[in-house]
Amino acid sequence: MLNFLKQTRKFVNNAKEPICIVLGNESCDLDSAVCAVSMAYFYQNNIDSSLNKPKAYNYLPVLNIPKRDYPLKTEVKYLFQENNINEEWLTFKDELNEDFLKDSAFVLVDHHVSPWLKNCIAIYDHRPKDASAVIPEKCELHLNLVGSGATLVAEQFLNAKILDASVKEILNLLRSTIVLDTVNFSQSAARATPKDVEICLALENVLEKFNCLHSREALFESLVKARADVGSLTASQLLRKDLKILTSNKNGGNNNIAIPGFPLLVQHFISKPGAEDAVREFAQEFKCSIVLLMGMFVQPEDNSVHRDFGLINISDSIMCESIEKCLLSLDEPKLGIELYNNCNFMDGSFYKQQNIKVTRKHVLPIVKNILDQ
**Nearest by Cα to 292 from 373, 249, 231, 353:** 353
CATH architecture classification, 235-372 = Roll (3.10)
The predicted pLDDT at position 15 comes to 72
The pTM of the full predicted model, rounded to 2 decimals, is 0.88
Q: Which CATH number fits domain 2-223: 3.90.420.10, 3.40.50.2300, 3.30.43.10, 3.90.1640.10?
A: 3.90.1640.10
Say how many Å lie between the first and final Cα of the chain, rounded: 46
What are the start and end residues of each CATH 3.10.310.20 domain in the chain?
235-372
For the stretch 213-266, pLDDT in tens is: 999 999 999 999 999 999 999 999 999 999 999 998 776 667 899 999 999 999
Q: How confident is the model at residue 308 (pLDDT cuts 50, 70, 90)?
A: very high
With H, G, I as helix, E, B as strand and everything else as coil, classify residue 256: strand
Distance CA 213, CA 253 (A): 47
Distance CA 326, CA 7 (A): 49
- Sign of the torsion formed by the C-alpha atoms of 246, 355, 128 and 96: positive
Distance CA 280, CA 101 (A): 32
What are the start and end residues of each CATH 3.90.1640.10 domain in the chain?
2-223
Between strands 288-298 and 256-262, the pairing is: parallel
For the stretch 186-206, pLDDT in tens is: 998 899 999 999 999 999 999
